[in-house]
Amino acid sequence: MITKYKILFLLLVVTFGFAQNKVTITVENNLDFAQNEKLIEIEWSKIKALFNQIDTTNFIVIDAKTKKQLPYQLEFKGNSKIQNLLVQVSCKAKSQLKLTIKSGKKIILKSKLLEDMSLKEKTICMGK
């Protein structure tokens, strides 16, 4: 998944804005086609520099337009300190997506894999 981002790195421009209790990130898709459910990595040191009070156990990533939480993961790459914030985003062709990182309780998002497995299991059970 990360290798996909390395390709996207050239295609997405990430800029930062900040307030004392949050960070706003702009992801820009310069391509002529949409990027759906793509994994992007954002350097943790850049987030930390702008939002040094961030609590790694109590923050959320929000799509600024829809106000919905987005799935994310902290990446350590074998180190004891966080290296990157990995966020799954969708961005229309030739458009921007604004993300807000702020304090808040993370909701547990449903796993698409588990949903697919559950659906298959029900289909098998119904076929008996």
pLDDT in tens, 7-65: 343 344 455 555 568 889 999 999 999 999 999 999 999 999 888 889 999 999 999 99
Q: By the 8 A CB rule, do 69 and 62 touch?
A: yes
Instruction: Quote the Cα angle for 107-109-113, to 5°.
Output: 165
In this prediction, residue 41 carries a pLDDT of 93
- Residue 88: pLDDT over 50: yes
What's the rounded Cα separation, in Å, for the pair 124 and 118?
Answer: 10
